[in-house]
Amino acid sequence: MFILGFPLLLIPFAIYNMIAFLTPGIGWTAPVATIHMMSGQDWVLTWEDLLIAFAILLLAVEIMKSTRMGMRNIVDHVLAMALFIVMLIEFLLVKQAGTSTFFLLTMIALVDVLAGFIVSIRSSQRQVEIDASQA
């Protein structure tokens, strides 16, 4: 499958960069919708809320992807690490990325990297190979 070797968190990263650099007048805190809750409170949904929620859903898929074994898994971990490093550098050095929205996206990428390595290490410890003895 094509999607297995592709870091899905690249999608919200690209969306953020397209909006931040191509449409600088759009604010992340602009309301998208207001939902009246049963408690009487109005929940104001913003663009940053949608992007973070989308990234968290993709993180769940990434964690499920990290449970498989093989060479593609290693490539996926390397790409996830590279994406995190690029996001961290952009957060520290680029003015448009110095927002709490981008910081949370960077932390989601960090969780992806850490969870991928932890799940791989834990699953490799449980892998048992039994060699049939030749008599």
- Whether residue 134 is contained in a domain is answered as no
- Whether residue 41 is contained in a domain is answered as yes
Record the pTM. 0.81
How many Cα atoms are found within 13 Å in the side-chain-facing hemisphere of 91? 18
Q: Which two tokens stand for residue 41?
A: 């409170």
pLDDT 10s digits, 65-104: 887 776 777 788 889 999 999 999 999 999 999 989 999 9
Phi, psi of 123 (to 5 degrees): -75, -30
pLDDT of residue 125: 59
- Whether residue 133 is contained in a domain is answered as no
Residue ranges, the chain, pLDDT below 50: 1-2
- Whether residue 17 is contained in a domain is answered as yes
Structural domain total, the chain: 1
Rounded CA separation 45/43 (Å) = 6
* DSSP secondary structure, 79-96, as one string: HHHHHHHHHHHHHHH-GG
Phi, psi of 10 (to 5 degrees): -65, -25
- Whether residue 38 is contained in a domain is answered as yes
pLDDT of residue 121: 75
* Full residue range of the structural domain in which residue 92 is found: 2-125
- Whether residue 101 is contained in a domain is answered as yes
- Whether residue 130 is contained in a domain is answered as no
pLDDT of residue 119: 82
Q: Which two tokens stand for residue 127?
A: 């892998």
- Whether residue 97 is contained in a domain is answered as yes
